[in-house]
């Protein structure tokens, strides 16, 4: 998956589980793929489309979770 459609998110526990659920919902609604893996300073969420990544960034902001483009 292209790295330009990825975000690093700093979350743990239930908050991270909630974000994974939201990433799944966004990707399913857009009929796109997504993935998540560990990063040095958080969790990397990658999407097949920039629009889906941006929508996920808004969700992170709404939940008060810091996210960073990579």
Contact 19, 66 (CB under 8 A): no
Contact 12, 18 (CB under 8 A): no
Classify domain 3-69 at the CATH class level.
alpha beta
Q: What is the pLDDT of residue 2?
A: 45
pLDDT digits (tens, 9 = 90+) for 5-63: 899 999 889 999 999 999 999 999 988 889 999 988 899 999 998 899 999 999 999 99
Q: What is the pLDDT of residue 6?
A: 92
Q: Where are the domains of the chain?
A: 3-69
Full strand arrangement of the beta sheet holding 6-9: 34-39, 42-47, 6-9, 67-69
Beta strands in the chain (DSSP E): 6-9, 34-39, 42-47, 67-69
HSE value, Cβ hemisphere, 13 Å, CA-based, for 51? 6
């Amino acid at each position: 998956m292209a790295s330009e459609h990825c975000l690093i998110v700093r979350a743990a526990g239930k908050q991270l589980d909630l974000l994974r659920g939201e990433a799944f919902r966004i990707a399913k609604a857009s009929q796109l793929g997504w993935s998540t893996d560990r990063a040095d300073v958080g969790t990397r969420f990658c999407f097949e489309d920039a629009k889906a990544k941006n929508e996920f960034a808004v969700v992170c902001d709404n939940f008060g979770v810091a996210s960073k483009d990579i």
